[in-house]
Amino acid sequence: MGLFPNLRDVFSFLLLLITLSFASSHATQREIRNTCAYTVWAAAYPGGGKQLKQGETWTLKNITGSGRIWGRTKCSFGGDGLGKCESGDCAGRLDCG
């Protein structure tokens, strides 16, 4: 007797594989909210970066695979997106990813 004794088991196994591959490749979204009493500059790799004042949110869409999200403080950026942060800096750029 082999791995699949009948055709029904083959189809059930294929359906399971298709379902698992869809679930693992399905994109998700993450919402980042600043609950601090001060402005933070959220960073995501991949994803970018954004200034968030107290209570503001930033939604990252179509997130697949792994990545990193962190907060930066006391940042100063110019209109070109270049600058620096006291903590959590990413090579002097607003967009980290």
The sign of the dihedral angle between the CA atoms of 58, 72, 96, 75 is: positive
Q: What is the pLDDT of residue 29?
A: 82
Q: What pTM was computed for the model?
A: 0.67
Write down all domains in the chain, each with its CATH number in brackets: 28-87 (2.60.110.10)
Spatial separation of the C-alpha atoms in residues 53 and 95, rounded to whole Å = 17
pLDDT interval class at 47 (50, 70, 90): confident
Mean per-residue pLDDT over the chain, rounded: 80
Q: Cite the beta strand spans of 1-97 per DSSP E.
A: 28-33, 40-45, 48-52, 57-63, 68-77, 83-87
Asked whether the predicted pLDDT for residue 41 surpasses 60, the reply is yes
Q: By CB neighbour count within 10 A (0-12 exposed, 13-18 middle, 19+ buried), where does 39 fall? A: middle
